[in-house]
Structures are given as C-alpha cells and as structure tokens.
Structure 1
Amino acid sequence: MKYSIVKNDYPESLDLANQLTEQLTSDQAWVVDDENPDYVFVIGGDGTFLKAVKQFNHLLAQIKFYPIKKGGIGFYTNRNLFDPKELKTNLNLNECQINKYPLLEVKIDEKTFFVINELKVLNDVVPQQFSIFVNDEKLENFKGTGVVFATPSGSTGYLKSINGAIIYPTSQELFEMQEVAPVSTVLFHTINAPIIFSHEETIRLTQINSLKVNDALTVVGDARIIATTFATIEVKISAIKLKIITTNKINRAALLKDIFVGN
C-alpha cells in the first residue's frame, strides 16, 4: 500500500508524523509514495486537509484520506483521534469506517477542478454580469458581486457567513448556490435566496459582458484561486466521492454544536 503524509507546521504535528512514519516503515506492506499514493494521512486542521485535497486533486478517485486532528477547528478532523498502535486496525478495510463526501466538479472553460468545500465567483471592484442556467434552462441574469456554490460539508463555512443554509446530511448528493450582494432595484432584481440542487442539475454561468484586465474577478475553489477570468463555468456534483477514513462515527449534530453553539 502506497502512502503520503501532509502536515501543518506545528512541532507536535512533526512529532506525530515521525511516529506515524516509524509505524508504517515497520510494516513492509507500506511504501511511501508522494506522487501516486493510495492513502494520504493529513495531520492538522481543515486548512491542512484542504491543502492535501489540492495537492492530490487529480487522484481523488483512488485516494483514501486519513485526517488526524492537530490544528484548529476541523469539520473533517475533529472526531479523528490517533493511536499508532491502532493504525493497522483502523486501516483494515473490513473494519474501518469510510465516509464518502460529495465533490463539486467544476469546469472553467476547458479546465476541470474538484472542490470539497466551496466555489466562489467574486468581483469586489465592479459588479459582474452573467446568465445562470439550470440544465440549459435560463434561471436569471445576475448582476452583483458574485455567487457561491457549496457541498453539504462546505455549507457550514463561507456560505453560512453570507446567510446560506446549512445542508445537514453530508452524505447526500446535494449542493447549494447563494448570490453575493446582487444589485436590487426596481429595474433589476434576482432570486437572491439560497437554492439547493441535486445530482440531476448542472449549473452554468455564462458571461454577459467581457471583463477588463484590471477587474478583480477571482474564482476560488477551496481557498485557492483557480481562475481570474472565464467565459463559461459549469458546476455539478461529481461522480467521484472523497473518501475519508474515520476512527469514530461522525455525529453531524455534535460537530455543529461544538463549533457554533458550545455548551
């Protein structure tokens, strides 16, 4: 079995990575491979997890991620405790629990990306204008700062902060779209409400006006800029699922309470 380790820069994460490496190298069945791994161990919080998803974006169909909590708040890592002695048990496919998370498949003109949290199409300098289509049927012409798309697991992030809905069942093939600061006058208005779509819908954004070079358009997928211009963007639920190994059963209500409500 081939593996790679992605960690944050905390000293305790380095210590844990050394323990993990020692455990894995003692078993001849494990071989380090940072180019084409079967398993990726992620030591850190959600930021480190997103870094790992970015690094292996082209291999998501084959990889199983094993996040280990060593960082800040983490929806993907908060319930994953690590004990080197239990590693072999936790990676036994007949015994371990593997959660599968929906991914957004994003096509920007001719390039394709996979997003686990959210896709943001924003311009804070000038209002951008594009048409929004649902399965080739026009929904509206949009004018404003932009739109955000999120998966169920990503709906508790940026989308929540702009009054989007939290999608509770993380295993469902659902995704959400929310407008950001749309122009609203008696002459121009949009739906301006969260819309939840299923795997049967593909959303297409098509530019109405050409953007100038100095415009501040950014297309951001999982906290990284993936484009600064586009003619067309298509967003849908991918057939590929992100596979995450967990040592404890994920309790969505407990995660939401721990992070947003408290005791």
Structure 2
Amino acid sequence: MLSLKVMHYCIVSRDDKRSKMMSFEISSYIKKDAFFSFDEISPELIIVIGGDGTFLGALHKYIEKVGQIKFLCFNTGTIGYYNEFDVNSFKKCIDSIKERALPTRTFSLLKYSSGSCTHFAINELILSGLVKNVEYEVFLDGEKLEDYFGMGLVISSSTGSMGYNRSINGSILDIEIDGMQMTEIAAIRSKAYSPIGSPVVFSKDRVLTFKEKNSRPGSLLADNILLEEKCAKEFTISIAQEKVICYSLEKDPFLARLKKTLGF
C-alpha cells in the first residue's frame, strides 16, 4: 500500500446557485478524508467549479505559486475549455487523485517582463490602445521586425488562440505547439508604417521586444484582466519556464476544444 502524503487543497467556485451547491457537496466529501487538508494559503490542489472565467481567476490569484499547484476543473459554465470534468463525477476524480491515477496535462504561460516587473497569462497578453492608438517598434530576438501603429497587438499562446485571437482573424493553433502568436488589431498602413498584416507564429524559444514610440503606450491586459494602464517604455514577451498543470482525461484536447469552438 502507498504511503500517502497529505495534500493541501482549496476550492474556488463561481458565485451561482449550482456552483455553490456543488462546492458544498465536494467540500463535505473531501474533508472526511485525512489525505486532504484545507489550505487557502499554499494549496497543492485547487478545485475549480464554474467556467473558464472561474479557472482564470483562480490561476491569477495563485500565479506566483503555479508550479506547485495542480488544478481540477469542473464545468458548471458554458463552453469550458479548461473545465473539462462533469461536476457529477467529483467523487471518482478525487478518489483517483488520492490513488495517483488521474493523469495531468501541462499548459504554457506567456510572460511579460520589464525590469523586475513580470506578469503572466495562459491565453493572451493584449497591448491595447483603450483611448488612442499605440505605437511600438517590435523586435524578434533583438532584430527589428516591424514598426507598429494601430489599436493594439495580441500575443496569444497556442491554448489561447481560439479566444480573442480568433475573433480578430488570428490563426487557430494545435495546443501541442509550444509557441506564441502575434496578431495585429486594425494596424494602420502608410509610408511611415509597414505592419506585417498577418498573424505570425513564433517558437517557444523566441523573445519579442517592444519599444514605445512617440509617447503612445498601450495598456496591458492578461487574460482580459487589466494589469497596467500604461506599459513600460520597453518590455519583452516570451514563453515562460513555469507551466500550468491541470488534471485531464481528454485523449485529444485540441480536437475537443476545436469542436467546442466550432459548435459541433
């Protein structure tokens, strides 16, 4: 018989009747097992009950400890890209975690860096001109890539490519591709500006550098959360070393997400 170490957990639930009811049921079930110990400060397991928004909220709340955490996500929302488990299967899932029989899948994070300031996103980082257009010199691994002037830029992960990125005609990436994609929002073309005009996919080892021009900085949103009203004058975006770990049973998660996105 395996010698089991106590697993610290917490529950993050959406604020609706069904989710709160399931949160109570799960809490009542799990606290009877001495293997699990409730801990909101340093959890090793976060049980998410809701939709993708609930998952994103939980992820960003514990982002500084993401490498030490596994997420078990139950869907009581609509699409549920990350919340793949039926909430009615919670007993089986929790028992499987105790028996170390529930497989996991890792997802990459995007990383924004400027000096000692860092931010992370699992879906996308958006450089947005909330009031006026933004203007940046964009470099790839230190080499000039473009002069951008327009409403903003979206840097999405492969898992985030089916979200906001797709709505602005970005490409859908297989989530097995560990990279990032840059998609322009309403770029302005003129003699002074020559935007790329198409989504560009970069491998995981690439680094994008952005340098503000003419005092036209963008606001920074990570997974639709406003983090900086004005970005730093110079910053980089890359794939982070840290990974998000989620319990998953899907044999082909990309195909499953594609079906959800396209509605079949």
TM over 0.5: yes
Q: 1:164 to 1:93 in 2, by over 3 A?
A: farther
Kept after mapping to 2: 8 A contact 1:128/1:143: yes
Unpaired runs of at least 5, structure 2: 1-6
Kept after mapping to 1: 8 A contact 2:148/2:193: no
User: What is the CA–CA distance in structure 2 between the aligned matches of 1:231 and 1:123, rounded to whole Å?
Assistant: 14
Confirm or deny that 1:200 pairs with 2:205: yes
User: What is the CA–CA distance in structure 2 between the aligned matches of 1:106 and 1:93, rounded to whole Å?
Assistant: 37
Kept after mapping to 1: 8 A contact 2:104/2:248: yes
User: What is the CA–CA distance in structure 1 between the aligned matches of 2:236 and 2:120, rounded to whole Å?
Assistant: 12
2:244 to 239, 242, 245: 242
1:19 to 12, 18, 25: 25
1:112 aligned counterpart, secondary structure = strand
Q: Normalization by structure 2: what TM-score?
A: 0.91
- CA offset digits 1:189-224 (Å, max 9, x no partner): 21111111111101011112224xxx8x42100111
What is the aligned-residue identity percentage?
Answer: 27
User: What is the CA–CA distance in structure 2 between the aligned matches of 1:259 and 1:195, rounded to whole Å?
Assistant: 21
User: What is the CA–CA distance in structure 1 between the aligned matches of 2:250 and 2:192, rounded to whole Å?
Assistant: 53
What is the deviation of 1:73?
Answer: 1.4
Kept after mapping to 2: 8 A contact 1:23/1:84: no
Kept after mapping to 1: 8 A contact 2:152/2:185: yes
Partner of residue 4, structure 2: none
Superposed, which structure 2 residues align to 1:87-98 within 5 Å?
Answer: 87-92=93-98, 94-98=100-104
Partner of residue 215, structure 2: 210
Given residue 166 of structure 1, which amino acid in structure 2 is its aligned partner? I
Partner of residue 55, structure 2: 49
Structure 1 stretches of 4+ moved >3 Å: 247-251
What is the deviation of 1:261?
Answer: 3.6
1:10 to 16, 36, 39: 16
What is the deviation of 1:254?
Answer: 3.2
Confirm or deny that 1:110 pairs with 2:116: yes
What is the deviation of 1:92?
Answer: 4.1
Kindly report the root-mean-square deviation, in angstroms, between the aligned alpha carbons of the 2 structures: 1.7
2:170 to 164, 175, 186: 164
Partner of residue 258, structure 2: 256
Unpaired runs of at least 5, structure 1: none
Given residue 35 of structure 2, which amino acid in structure 1 is its aligned partner? A
Kept after mapping to 2: 8 A contact 1:102/1:171: no
What is the deviation of 1:24?
Answer: 1.3
Superposed, which structure 2 residues align to 1:121-160 within 5 Å?
Answer: 121-160=127-166
Report the more deviating stretch, 218-227 or 86-95. Answer: 86-95
User: What is the CA–CA distance in structure 2 between the aligned matches of 1:6 and 1:194, rounded to whole Å?
Assistant: 35
Q: Normalization by structure 1: what TM-score?
A: 0.92
Q: 1:34 to 1:184 in 2, by over 3 A?
A: same
Q: 1:28 to 1:58 in 2, by over 3 A?
A: same
What is the deviation of 1:123?
Answer: 0.4
User: What is the CA–CA distance in structure 2 between the aligned matches of 1:48 and 1:22, rounded to whole Å?
Assistant: 21
Partner of residue 39, structure 1: 45
Kept after mapping to 2: 8 A contact 1:122/1:218: yes
Given residue 38 of structure 1, which amino acid in structure 2 is its aligned partner? E
Kept after mapping to 1: 8 A contact 2:147/2:193: no
What is the deviation of 1:31?
Answer: 1.0
- CA offset digits 1:68-91 (Å, max 9, x no partner): 0111211111x3123233134331
